[in-house]
Amino acid sequence: MILFERESLNLEAPVAQLLPEFVTLSPPHQRSKREAVTVRMLLAHSSGLPAYEKLFEYAHDRQELLRSAMTTPLCAVPGTRADYSDIGFILLGEILERIAGEPLDQFAQREIFDRLGMTRTYFIPPLEMRKLIPPTEDDRTFRKRIIQGEVNDENAWVIGGVGGHAGMFASAPDLAVFAECMLQGGAPLLKPATTALFTRREETPRGTSRALGWDTPSQPSSSGKQFSASSYGHLGYTGTSLWIDPKRRLSVTLLTNRTWPDRKSQRIKEIRPLVHDAIVEAIERN
């Protein structure tokens, strides 16, 4: 949103213009489809890239993993369907770094966290903070240790903990500050028109619930049954979520470690909507 407002990021720009490797490293028969993928499609998860790939199983460092992400085959024609894609957001993170001319964590720290006073938000937490962060998983297969204070996602870990798709740590008060910024129309970071553009549901592909980098309530929704149609939010794999309802001027931050001690439990899918409904109902009763 910041780079778009500064006219550094063109939503309609082909990904190949910003990441030439996305096309040049792919087999010739895939290139025409890949040339059609735009930045907007990455943000709206309509690029045709798959949801997830275990790139970490054969990529051993940042360079190898980014190359693997750039050469991941499309599983749908770009623009025809919306499916959440970690791979797309890995590529988006690399695009943002190339445009900004610096790592994503440094840009975010200076342009967002510091300006909003978010003092407990990081991609890589300081060593003294890590013991205060709840562990996310007892990893028996890849890192073979308890994961605490480091990114849970293996692909993000291989690229150094700073990625477009995963890896940020924050406290609930810090996220409430960020949400209040969004409820103020983006002030002091953004103009209201920019915030409105990115949080509005896309018209295509047909039936999508996705906005640009955000999701909107669908049926059923993790935001429950009470959040307005103008709401927007996002989930995190380990059990985190942020939902913002501009109509009610309400935000709800939910931070859990649902992957502890392993990833088997899916009960967060039942709990999230109930929490949001209970909060709205309690507010309306009072």
Decide if 93 contacts 106 (C-beta within 8 A): no
Domains and CATH numbers, the chain: 171-285 (3.40.710.10)
For the stretch 95-102, contacts whose Cβ atoms lie closer than 8 Å and that sit 24 or more positions apart, written own/partner, are 95/9, 95/15, 95/18, 95/19, 95/39, 95/42, 96/3, 96/9, 96/164, 98/18, 98/19, 99/3, 99/8, 99/9, 99/18, 100/3, 100/8
Please give the Cα distance from 224 to 219 (Å, whole number): 9
Low-confidence ranges of the chain (pLDDT < 70): none
Distance of CA 7 to the CA centre of its chain: 22
- The kind and range of the H/E element at 270 are helix 268-285
Q: Residue 261: what pLDDT?
A: 97
Q: Residue 286: what pLDDT?
A: 84
Q: Residue 205: what pLDDT?
A: 97
Q: If 0-12 CB within 10 Å is exposed, 13-18 middle and 19+ buried, where does residue 86 land?
A: buried
Closest CA to 238 of 168, 159, 145: 168
Decide if 44 contacts 82 (C-beta within 8 A): yes
What's the predicted TM-score (pTM) here? Answer: 0.97
